[in-house]
Amino acid sequence: MSMNTFEPNWASPPGATVLDLLQERGLQMKELAERAHRDVQSVTRLIFGVEPLTSDWAECLSNVLGATTGFWLRREETYRSDLRRICEAVGESPAEWMSEVPLKDMVKLGWIERGTSAHETALNACAFFGVTTSSSFERKYTRLMAASAYRASNAYATRPSAVAAWLRQGEIAASAVDCAPWNPDRLHASLEAIRELTLEADPNVFLPTLEAILAASGVAMVVARTPEGCRASGATRFLNSDRALMQLSFRYLADDQFWFTVFHEVGHLLLHARDEVFLEGLEDRNSEAEKEADDFALQNLFAKVGTEVLESAPPSLRSILRLAQNAGIAPGIVVGQLQRCGRVPYKHFNNLKARYSWAD
């Protein structure tokens, strides 16, 4: 009597079992992270199949969720084996069809593990994206890219696969953010509190506060550097009916650009269709939606004084500082907008802008 071994045409990460057991026991990812002595992002990456389930993880999961360490290690082995088998079954190497994906940057940024070979690194990227073939990659991200304004941008060397990687990192990181259900009224009521944050120059201070304000309105905020080939400074979209995502890259490393992007993205969330993806830095600046988001950002940043002052204020240091004080915003934002409307040359007053840097 012969028996055939069942080989599924899908690869389910052990994180799926972890998530089922967490829900069954009424536990939050945060609680698992605390018991495992890890951060929530690590738990999230495990659940998505991005972070390998090591013997340390197996022991932790056994203690918290049950089953033996052997069960968890076999679960990981089965997943990696299925992933490899399915990826190789179609006769195309993941390393080949992922040649446009910025794998080196994804490793450098800590999004995926570096494999012992280019093939293994590509398999790790398959786990990251949740795909197993080039066609599944295209199906999953073609709609996302088509829904975004990327299609209108031809000015820069932007690669769709790099944008997809950045957006996917946003999805994964957003799942670790504890959010209230989407509440547009609360978000609108929070604009003054967000505006006051512009006066704080230290991202270590204002980012946690901004994250908390947005989360209370149902918006998961994620800060993620962009890989080569992705020039986005921000993005907004709805992940589901109760949760929106605001993704920021700090691309320009200056307060005027950062805060304008924040208010611009809030504008998209409050004004525009929930099935759209908006990518700041890649979009058609002349589109109606982008003009509306720009106007929203400008009006709310200068809500205390009105935007007309940008046309009448003398372009002097004293005037800029006085205007910033009256508006309740950082002087760098005033400089940026005066530069934007042509009242001040782009090389003038840049010393008033707060500058940021990445801690590598």
Signed CA dihedral, 193, 226, 86, 41: sign only: negative
Q: In one letter, which amino acid is 45?
A: R
Q: Which of 210, 212, 202, 260 is nearest to 234 (CA)?
A: 260
In a domain? residue 225: yes
Q: Which of 172, 68, 70, 175 is nearest to 127 (CA)?
A: 172
In a domain? residue 140: no
Of 89, 104, 125, which one is at a domain's C-terminal end? 89
On whether both 187 and 78 belong to a single domain, the answer is no
d(CA 67, CA 59): 10
On whether both 156 and 240 belong to a single domain, the answer is yes
**Per-residue model confidence as pLDDT tens digits over 206-248:** 999 999 999 999 999 999 999 998 888 999 999 999 999 999 9
The reported pLDDT for the residue numbered 153 is 41
Q: Which of 301, 336, 304, 331 is nearest to 194 (CA)?
A: 301
DSSP secondary structure letter of residue 200: -
On whether both 245 and 172 belong to a single domain, the answer is yes
CB proximity list for 186: less than 8 A, separation 6 or greater: 180, 216, 217, 218
Q: What is the pTM of this model?
A: 0.90
Query: How many other β-carbons are positioned within 10 Å of the β-carbon of residue 273?
Result: 10
On whether both 165 and 267 belong to a single domain, the answer is yes
Q: Where are the beta strands (DSSP E) in the chain?
A: 219-223, 234-240, 243-248, 278-280
Of 38, 70, 89, which one is at a domain's C-terminal end? 89
On whether both 186 and 293 belong to a single domain, the answer is yes
In a domain? residue 133: no
* Domain CATH number, residue 27: 1.10.260.40
Q: Which of 218, 210, 212, 260 is nearest to 240 (CA)?
A: 218
On whether both 244 and 343 belong to a single domain, the answer is yes
d(CA 212, CA 89): 45
- Report residue 353 as tokens: 């802008």
Report whether 249 contacts 223 (CB < 8 A): yes
On whether both 82 and 158 belong to a single domain, the answer is no
DSSP secondary structure letter of residue 237: E
In a domain? residue 359: no
In a domain? residue 319: yes
The length of the chain in residues reads 360
In what helix (H) or strand (E) does residue 248 lie, and over which residues does it extend? strand 243-248
The reported pLDDT for the residue numbered 144 is 63
In a domain? residue 107: no
The reported pLDDT for the residue numbered 149 is 46
On whether both 344 and 198 belong to a single domain, the answer is yes
Of 89, 110, 129, which one is at a domain's C-terminal end? 89
Number of domains in the chain: 2
On whether both 245 and 329 belong to a single domain, the answer is yes
Pairing of strands 243-248, 219-223: parallel
On whether both 204 and 327 belong to a single domain, the answer is yes
Q: What is the mean pLDDT of each run of 10 residues along the chain (360 residues)?
A: 55 92 91 91 93 94 93 95 87 86 95 92 93 86 59 56 93 94 97 97 96 98 94 92 96 95 96 88 74 96 95 93 97 96 93 91
In a domain? residue 60: yes
On whether both 198 and 49 belong to a single domain, the answer is no
Report whether 210 contacts 84 (CB < 8 A): no
Range of the domain at 201: 148-352
In a domain? residue 322: yes
On whether both 69 and 168 belong to a single domain, the answer is no
